[in-house]
Structures are given as C-alpha cells and as structure tokens.
C-alpha cells in the first residue's frame, strides 16, 4: 500500500539486500548448528574459500562470468516483460555453435576465431530463442511455457548430437573432440604470466572481460538507445507501445534474441575457455541461477554484476566448504545457496514495509530538526 513512498536508492539497492543476505546467513547458521558444526567457522571457510587466495578468486570470478551472462540474458528479456527461463537451452545450443566453429574452422587464427565464435554463439543462441519469441509475438504462446519446453528439446537434441555426431570414435563420454590449442580462450593466469605477473592457475579466462564488456553494452542498449527504450516500453505497457507506434511483437522478438545470444556467451566461457570441448549438460543449471541473479540485481547490469559475484562466491566457497568440512555435504551447500536465493530473491520485499517505516521516522525527525 505504501507505493507512494519512494525509498532513496541507497536503501533500495544497498540496505535491503544486505539485510536479506544477513538473514539468509543467520538461517543458514542455524542449519549448520543443527548438524553440529560451528557457523562462524563455516562462514570463515566460505569467505576464505571464495576470496581468501588467488586461486579462489579465479574460481569465484569464473563462476561469476557464467552468472553475468545468464543474468544479463534474463534481464534483457525481463525489461520487455518476458520471463525467459530458457537460458539453459539457449546456452546449450549456443555451445553447439561455438564448438562447430572451433572444430570445423580450426584453420582460422585466434583473433578471428574469437569473433567467429562470438558470432556463432550469437547466431545459435538467438536462433534458439527466436522460436519461442516468434510464438509469443505472433501466436500468443506464453514464453514461460515455450522456453522451458525448448530447454528439454535442446537437451535431447544435444544428447543426440553428442552421442551420435560429435563424439569421437571409441570415446566413453558423450563429448566432442578437444578444441585446438591455439583456439582456446587464454586463461587469465597465462595472460598475466606473459606480462611477467605470477598468479595461481584457475579456469578464469578472457571471457570474464567479455562479460564485463557485455554488461556495459547491455546498460547502454537498454537505457541509452531507442531500441532499449522501445523494449522497456513494451515491457511496461504494451498498449502504450502500440499507441506510440512501437510494434510489441517486433521488440519481443528482438529482446528474446538478444537474451538468447547473451545466454549463449556462457558457452564461450565453458566450451572455449575452460573445458575446451563440448560436454553433456555443460550448462549445469547456470541458466536458471541467472534468473535469481537478475532479479536480485534488479535487472540492472551493475546489480547483476554484484549478485553474480555473490553467487560465484557461494559456488566456489560452497565447494571449498564441502572440501574442508566433510560433514557439510554438497547437499548442505545447496541448502545454504537455496536459503540465500530465497531471502535475497524471492522474499526481498519482506523487510520493505518495516524499513520504509523506520526510514520515514528517521526522515521526519531529521526534517523536523532542520525546520527547527
């Protein structure tokens, strides 16, 4: 009911998420206590595991890279009023584009291959998103339904291709051949080494830089171009868009294709940067986590960066946690991650009324003092 009260931005994007995060940690602490471990130790290990040493940073930022891509993907569609939960499938198919380019155009020099791979990922991911987008724009089929179906279709398609087409003779795993050495995205530690800086090995690679560039590009696109303006108009009020001569269908398709392309960039990180081959299920749920990342980051690239970092921390710190404390199994780590998503994403409005009230009281008092 208190819609009319506008909280200052620093509370909206600063204080509220921190309160939610602390609450999530508090509840996680109870869970940890319940299995007989010390919560403070767990938090220490989690933080140390995520940020405590060079390699940890590398892993954290490697996960962050994936989350930035899928978070941005979700956000762009969301600005157009679309709930694209198909990042998983779009990234998967985008990976096909990357691996095909890398395997069949392996005569290309690296700089050209990098552009070709980006284009291939874009083409495949966007094409995969185009079908649900078309169905939404022209046939009114709800994008939530179609994108989730397309995740399944992508999964089956990729299994077929990996098992029957891409798998080298005699290989046990349904996975593609390795990408030629010179076509792999350089690891950050290798790049640093060539500059004479010694840093620990980690999967962090050049795609992280590309993720940051994409964040800036998305920000420019959404808030500083007329297409982004049109997409936001369609998302906020499709009738007003029609009135303004902005044909919603056109922008729904545009937003979804951009979203699909952004998701597929995750494949650059995974396929071209880390695994150097196409693995089955390499998307590993990053597409779905992207939804939480985007919602928590309020669909703004900067917010997405911060929440992607948080999730990267949870992934890497969580792995470290189950490494250090055997009683905290993987499942327990997932519980902790889930609690953080629940409190920061799904229940983010829980404290809003109370914080609003406190803020109003504080504001009034200060105001009163100024008047006096």
Residue with tokens 């499938």: 89
> How far apart are CB 21 and other proteins at their closest, in Å?
17
Q: With contact defined as beta carbons under 8 Å apart, do 110 and 346 qualify?
A: no
Q: With contact defined as beta carbons under 8 Å apart, do 203 and 62 qualify?
A: yes
Q: Quick one: 57 or 131, whose CB is closer to other proteins?
A: 57
> How far apart are CB 221 and other proteins at their closest, in Å?
9
Q: Quick one: 131 or 233, whose CB is closer to other proteins?
A: 233
**Burial grade of 13 (CB within 10 A; 0-12, 13-18, 19 or more):** middle
Q: With contact defined as beta carbons under 8 Å apart, do 348 and 7 qualify?
A: no
> How far apart are CB 147 and other proteins at their closest, in Å?
21
Q: 205 forms bridges with which residues in the sheet?
A: 187
Q: Quick one: 202 or 307, whose CB is closer to other proteins?
A: 202
Q: Quick one: 159 or 347, whose CB is closer to other proteins?
A: 159
Q: Quick one: 131 or 272, whose CB is closer to other proteins?
A: 272
Q: Quick one: 65 or 131, whose CB is closer to other proteins?
A: 65
> How far apart are CB 317 and other proteins at their closest, in Å?
12
Question: Which parts of this chain interact with other proteins (CB under 8 A)?
Answer: 1, 4-6, 44-45, 47-48, 51-52, 55, 59, 62, 159-160, 163-164, 169-170, 172-174, 178, 201, 203, 220, 224-226, 229-230, 232-233, 236-237, 239-240, 242-247, 274-275, 277, 279-282, 284, 319, 322-323, 326, 329-330, 360, 363-364, 367
> How far apart are CB 226 and other proteins at their closest, in Å?
4
Q: Say how far apart CA 89 and CA 151 lie, in whole Å.
A: 4
> How far apart are CB 124 and other proteins at their closest, in Å?
21
């Amino acid at each position: 009911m208190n819609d009319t009260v506008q909280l200052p931005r620093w509370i909206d994007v600063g204080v509220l998420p921190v309160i939610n995060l602390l609450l999530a940690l508090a509840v996680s602490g109870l869970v940890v206590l319940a299995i007989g471990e010390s919560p403070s130790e767990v938090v220490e290990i989690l933080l140390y595991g995520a940020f405590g040493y060079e390699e940890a940073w590398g892993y954290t930022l490697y996960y962050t890279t994936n989350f930035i891509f899928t978070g941005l993907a979700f956000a762009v569609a969301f600005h157009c009023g679309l709930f694209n939960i198909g990042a998983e499938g779009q990234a998967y198919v985008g990976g096909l584009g990357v691996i095909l380019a890398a395997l069949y155009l392996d005569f290309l020099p690296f700089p050209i291959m990098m552009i070709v791979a980006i284009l291939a990922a874009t083409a495949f991911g966007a094409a995969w998103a185009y079908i649900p987008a078309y169905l939404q724009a022209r046939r009114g089929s709800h994008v939530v339904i179609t994108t989730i179906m397309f995740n399944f279709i992508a999964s089956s398609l990729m299994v077929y291709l990996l098992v029957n087409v891409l798998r080298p003779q005699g290989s046990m795993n349904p996975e593609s051949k390795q990408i030629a050495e010179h076509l792999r995205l350089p690891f950050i530690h290798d790049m640093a080494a060539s500059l004479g800086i010694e840093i620990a090995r980690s999967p962090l690679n050049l795609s992280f830089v590309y993720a940051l560039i994409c964040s800036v590009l998305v920000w420019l696109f959404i808030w500083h171009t007329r297409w982004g303006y049109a997409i936001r108009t369609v998302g906020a009020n499709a009738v007003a868009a029609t009135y303004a001569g902005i044909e919603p269908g056109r922008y729904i398709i545009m937003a979804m294709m951009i979203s699909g392309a952004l998701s597929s960039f995750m494949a650059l990180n995974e396929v071209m940067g880390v695994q150097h081959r196409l693995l089955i299920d390499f998307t590993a749920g990053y597409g779905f986590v992207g939804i939480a990342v985007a919602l928590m980051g309020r669909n703004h690239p900067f917010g997405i960066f911060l929440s992607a970092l948080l999730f990267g921390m949870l992934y890497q710190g969580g792995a470290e946690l189950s490494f250090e404390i055997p009683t905290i199994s993987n499942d327990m780590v997932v519980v902790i991650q889930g609690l953080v998503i629940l409190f920061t994403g799904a229940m983010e409005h829980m404290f809003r009324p109370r914080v609003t009230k406190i803020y109003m009281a504080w504001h009034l008092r200060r105001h009163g003092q100024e008047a006096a």
